[in-house]
Amino acid sequence: MGKPIVCWRCGAAVKPDQRPITRLEQCRRCQADLHACRLCWSWNPRMTGYCDHDHAEPPLDRERANFCQYFKPRPGAFTPGEQNADSDARKELDSLFEKSPDDATAQDSNEAVGKPESDRARAELERLFNKSSQDDG
């Protein structure tokens, strides 16, 4: 027997009672749309339109449900590396916006004093410039 049909996003098995895959069918685990280009036999990220089918008109969002009449589910559509790349990118993005311990203590001390927002911003600027002028001297 060949590979089972699995969700393109999380790899969960598509149960036999979910077949044929209707346009609005979703994965039971992650709620990803299943009637999407990413689960189709014609999906090919190397192609300009991501579709190998000659007559198919690719939708704008290839991860959402579509009306493609040429859709045929592809066994083994899940690629674990893609999921890891997504989570790594999310972690990197989150780390960019995390506050450093110095920022948190400066903000806490300003809030404790009860200064208005403009005063806190000015105090933060002065703290930054004083720190840089001390480094120069």
pLDDT tens digit sequence for 23-58:
899 999 999 999 999 999 988 888 777 888 878 887
Give the pLDDT of residue 131. Answer: 60
33 close to 18: Cβ distance less than 8 angstroms: no
Q: What angle do CA 127, 132, 137 make, to 5 degrees?
A: 125
pLDDT at 62 over 80: yes
Question: In terms of Cα–Cα distance, which of 119, 84, 31, 30 is closest to 111?
Answer: 119
pLDDT tens digit sequence for 65-124:
999 888 999 887 887 766 555 666 777 777 777 755 455 455 555 454 566 788 888 888
